[in-house]
Amino acid sequence: MILAIESSCDETAVAVIRRNQGKPGLLTSLISSQIEIHREFGGVVPEVACRNHAQRIRPLVQQALDEAGVTLDDIDAFAATRGPGLASSLLVGLAYAKGLAAASNKPFFGINHMEGHLLSPFLDLGRIPPHLGLIVSGGHTMLIDVQGYGDYRLIGHTIDDAAGEAFDKVGRMLQLPYPGGPEIEKHARSGNPKAFAFPRAVLKDAPFNFSFSGLKTAVLYQLQKLADPQDHLADICASFQAAVIDALLKKTIKAARENGHSLITLSGGVACNRALQDALIRAAGSNGMKVQPSPSSLTTDNAGMIAFAALLASENREPDDLGIGIDPNLPLAPA
Ligand code: KG4
Ligand code: ZN
C-alpha cells in the first residue's frame, strides 16, 4: 500500500493505492484545489501556492488515511512528485512524504509528474502496453513513444506555449475566469469553428513539435479588429479550439503511424476537453487506431496518477535515497 502526494502546482493532492488480486485500486484520491484563490490573480502565484500547500498537506494526509480506512502503520511506502513543476510547491509535498518515510523507516519513491499523466489512462488495466502518448497540460505538450513501463522516447514537444497555456492565455484575452480551458470549451459549444481562420503551425524541421504562440497572437490581432469582441465570444472560442485540436490531431496520428502504434493515449488537463477527445477518437478510428483517454478523475492534477506511477516504480525499481531533491525541470525521457 502506497501513500502518494502531489503538489507540483496549485493542487494539493493525496492518494492511497494498493494492488489487490493483480489489479491496482485507489482507496482514496483527494484534491484540495486552490483555483479559487489564484483566480483573483488570473494565474498561479507560486508563493501563495506554496503557503497553501504547507497549510493543507497535514490535514489532507490524515483525511486520506481516514477515508481509506487505514493508518500510517498500514502504508508500505511513500511517494511524491519531485518535478517538473514550481520549485516552492514541489518542495512541500516532497519534504512531507520524505519525512513520513524517514520517521517510519519505510521506502520512498520520487515520481515524475509527467510520468503520472502519461500512465494514468492505464490505472484500471494495471500495466502499460505499447502506445503513443499525447500529454496536453498547462505546462507541457508532448508526444511520447512508449514501449512499456519506464521505456519512453520523446518524439515531439511544444517549442513555445503548452496547449493548456494557450487556452489560459486566450481565456485571459477574452476576460474569462482562470483557468481558461474549461471556459473556452463551454463557450465554443455554441460557436462556429469556421468563423475565423486561425493558423495551424507547421514546423518543417521538426514535424512532431508543436507551436501555439502564433495562434495566440492571431487571436489577439483578430480581437483588436473587432468592434466588440464579446459579441463574437462563442465563434472566437470555437475557432481557436478547432485550431488547437487540428494541430494536435494531425501530428498525433502521424506519430502513431510512423512509430507502429495502434493505441493512442490522451492525458493531462486539456484531455478533459470533450471536443478534443471526440475528434481524436474519430481521427484514430478512421486510421484503424484506438484511443484510451485518461479517466476524468485523473486528467487535471491529482495524486491518484502519482500513486499509480509509484506502485509501478515499487514493482520495477529500487526506492530513492532520502537525499533526493526536487527538480523543477525534471525531463521525462530522452529524445
Ligand atoms: O494537467 P493540469 O491540471 O496541470 C498541469 O500539469 O499543467 O492541466 C491544467 C490545464 C490548464 O491549462 C487548463 O486550462 C486546462 O488544463 N484544461 C482544459 C480543460 N480543462 C482543463 N483545457 C481545455 N479544455 C478543458 N475542458
Ligand atoms: Zn499536470
pLDDT for 285: 98
3-state secondary structure of 203: coil
Do 18 and 110 belong to one domain? yes
Residue 327: inside a domain, yes or no? no
pLDDT for 205: 87
Do 75 and 10 belong to one domain? yes
Task: Give the integer Cα–Cα distance in Å for 94 and 265.
Answer: 28
Task: Give the integer Cα–Cα distance in Å for 267 and 302.
Answer: 12
Ligand 1: which atom is nearest the Cα of residue 11? 3
Residue 170: inside a domain, yes or no? yes
Query: Residue 8 Cα, ligand 2 centroid: separation in angstroms?
Result: 8
Task: Give the integer Cα–Cα distance in Å for 30 and 28.
Answer: 6
| Substitution candidate for ligand 1 out of 270, 277, 294, 332 with most atoms within 8 A of CB | 270
Task: Give the integer Cα–Cα distance in Å for 108 and 2.
Answer: 9
pLDDT for 202: 84
Task: Give the integer Cα–Cα distance in Å for 281 and 257.
Answer: 15
Q: Is the pTM of the predicted complex or chain greater than 0.85? A: yes
Domain with 250, as residue range(s), is 130-294
Do 115 and 162 belong to one domain? no
Closest listed ligand to the CA of 272: 1
> What's at 178, amino acid-wise?
Y
pLDDT for 22: 87
Residue 68: inside a domain, yes or no? yes
3-state secondary structure of 81: strand
Do 86 and 145 belong to one domain? no
> What's at 134, amino acid-wise?
L
Q: What angle do helix axes 180-188 and 274-285 make, rounded to 10 degrees?
A: 70
Cross-strand partners of 210: 158
**Residue 224 grid cell:** 483588436
Q: Please list the helix, strand and coil fractions of the chain in percent, rounded to the nearest 5, in that order.
A: 45, 20, 35
Omega of the bond leading into 334 within 30 degrees of 0 (cis): no
Do 78 and 136 belong to one domain? no
Residue in this structure with the C-alpha cell 497549510, named with its chain if needed? 55
Sheet holding 290-293, edge to edge: 151-157, 141-148, 131-136, 263-267, 290-293
pLDDT for 43: 84
Closest-CA residue, ligand 1 atom 3, reads 300
- The mean pLDDT value of the chain amounts to 96
Residue 329: inside a domain, yes or no? no
pLDDT for 160: 97
Task: Give the integer Cα–Cα distance in Å for 265 and 221.
Answer: 34
Residue 39: inside a domain, yes or no? yes
Q: Which of 132, 160, 167, 192 is nearest to 244 (CA)?
A: 167
Do 265 and 145 belong to one domain? yes
Q: What angle do helix axes 233-258 and 163-173 make, rounded to 10 degrees?
A: 170
DSSP for residue 119? H
Do 102 and 153 belong to one domain? no
Do 140 and 85 belong to one domain? no
pLDDT for 204: 85
Omega of the bond leading into 179 within 30 degrees of 0 (cis): yes
pLDDT for 201: 87
Residue 163: inside a domain, yes or no? yes
Do 168 and 265 belong to one domain? yes
Do 245 and 188 belong to one domain? yes
pLDDT for 252: 98
**Residue 291 grid cell:** 484511443
Do 107 and 159 belong to one domain? no
CATH classification at residue 219:
3.30.420.40
Do 44 and 12 belong to one domain? yes
Low-confidence ranges of the chain (pLDDT < 50): none
Residue 335: inside a domain, yes or no? no
- Name all residues whose Cβ lies below 6 A of ligand 1: 9, 137-139, 164, 167-168, 179-182, 185, 268-270, 272-273, 300-301
> How many domains are there within the chain?
2
pLDDT for 267: 98
Residue 140: inside a domain, yes or no? yes
Cα 165 to the chain's mean position, in Å? 12
